[in-house]
Structure 1
Amino acid sequence: MLPLSRVAKALTDYAFNELHINKVEIRAAVENKNSRGIPERLGFVNEGCIRQAEWLYDHYVDHVVYGMLAEEWNENILIELFYKNCT
């Protein structure tokens, strides 16, 4: 896992398991494939697009919104542990 993905995973885990937050959102510019890869690798759900969400340099860019619910996160962790123990 890439360093930023590890950080995002740790922060998401902290949000759900220590702060007991129900939902975490990550937003990224539509054209920023590296930033979009982080929530995608962690299993976040693409919830849609916010048009002209950010002024970047000299133009507006759209954002993709990714979401993860606490129940989904905990299911993903259990599946990850299961497969880790099977190999």
Structure 2
Amino acid sequence: MQPLPLKSPSGVSIIPVAVEHATALASLVQSNIEHLQVYLPAVADLYSVETALEHLCRAVECASKGETFEWHLFVEGVLCGSVRIKDIDRSDRKAKIGYFIGHQFAGRGIASSAVSTVLEFCFGSLKLNRIELRCASENVRSRRVAERLGFLHEGTLRQGECLNGVFVDQNIYGLLTKDFEASRHYPMFW
């Protein structure tokens, strides 16, 4: 199954990554490089059109095999972030989710709205039962998105991630189908 274009209720266009996005992706990374270097150094490496293009080619290939699905987030035609589903395990019906949003778009509910829409795809079309989210314990904004969407904090991996040569604690969050379905009965506030 290929990732589908999605649209969030708030109007975020959630488009499967394509090689045509390379210039826009490199530009977004360049304008957010300082923040990305702190929490997502691998994404920060996509600052040139060439490296962005290489990444997008790999992402498209992985999607064709059903290994990883990645979407770019567009608001009014402008690329503002990304959501990725990886480590898809169809037998145990679980996967991991990650996301980033450009600092100039933060605080507008774009990440929460887009991730919620991708979760609908995961629990619906992909028929997954569990989505795991990991983030550095110091990444307050990412933790807030997880908690706002109903993810439960399941623990902390002490020094679970090496960021820029420094080991940092990593929070683990989990969301089950039943949790997601229950949260849909209550309005979410972005």
TM-score bin (small chain): 0.7 to 0.9
Aligned residue in 2 for 1:74: 181
User: Structure 2: any 5+ residue segments left out of the alignment?
Assistant: 1-107
Amino acid at match of 2:145: I
Aligned residue in 1 for 2:156: 49
Matches within 5 A, 1:26-65: 26-65=133-172
Amino acid at match of 1:8: V
Deviation at 1:5, TM superposition (A): 1.2
* Secondary structure in structure 2 of the residue aligned to 1:80: coil
* Secondary structure in structure 2 of the residue aligned to 1:43: coil
User: Structure 1: any 5+ residue segments left out of the alignment?
Assistant: 82-87
Q: Distance in 2 between matches of 1:72 and 1:31?
A: 25
Q: Distance in 1 between matches of 2:156 and 2:110?
A: 26
Deviation at 1:36, TM superposition (A): 0.7
- Indicate the percent of aligned positions where both proteins have the same amino acid: 33
* Secondary structure in structure 2 of the residue aligned to 1:79: coil
Q: Which has the higher contact order (CA 8 A, sep 6+)?
A: 1
Q: TM-score, normalised by structure 2?
A: 0.40
Deviation at 1:47, TM superposition (A): 0.3
Instruction: List, as ranges, runs of 4+ consecutive aligned residues in structure 1 with deviation greater than 3 Å.
Output: none
Q: Distance in 1 between matches of 2:186 and 2:141?
A: 25
Aligned residue in 2 for 1:85: none
Larger radius of gyration: 2
Amino acid at match of 1:68: L
* Secondary structure in structure 1 of the residue aligned to 2:186: helix
Matches within 5 A, 1:1-20: 2-20=109-127
Q: Distance in 2 between matches of 1:39 and 1:74?
A: 15
Aligned residue in 1 for 2:132: 25
Q: Distance in 2 between matches of 1:5 and 1:80?
A: 13
Deviation at 1:79, TM superposition (A): 2.9
Deviation at 1:7, TM superposition (A): 1.6
Q: CA RMSD, aligned part only?
A: 1.5
Amino acid at match of 2:184: I
Aligned residue in 2 for 1:84: none
Structure with more of its chain in helix, by fraction: 1
* Secondary structure in structure 1 of the residue aligned to 2:155: strand
